Amino acid sequence: MDLLEQYKQQNPEKFREQNPAQPADAYGREYSTLVALVMRLSGGKIRDAKQASYALLGVVVIIAVISGILFLRLLGVGTGPDMSSAVPIAGPGNEIPR
């Protein structure tokens, strides 16, 4: 028997699988770590999991709208006609017709 097996037999509690504790509210309902992170980073403005879920949903909607706008600009949708062509300058020998 090697040393590891002997140690496992002497200290079985150290080799049990431990699940990380999920954050829970006052009623014992568990919620995700991301919700807990939002609640902690809000500085006390977000007090429960429902408000944190709505805040996360709002962030997702804002990111989706910005991504859609950038994607449409990349495709050239809604940018109007190309105005980058050379414009004649009025001057001697180059009068603008009236």
Each residue's pLDDT, cut to its tens digit, for the chain (98 residues) gives 688 888 888 888 877 776 666 667 667 777 788 998 998 899 889 988 889 999 999 999 999 999 999 998 888 776 666 666 666 666 676 666 66
CA distances from 55 to 10, 60, 91, 96 (A): 49, 9, 60, 58
User: Residue 41 corresponds to which tokens in the numbers above?
Assistant: 């980073």
Dihedral of alpha carbons 40, 42, 47, 53, sign:
negative
Look at residue 4 and give its three-state secondary structure: helix
Which element (helix H / strand E) includes 76?
none
Query: Helix (H, G, I), strand (E, B), or coil: what is residue 3?
Result: helix
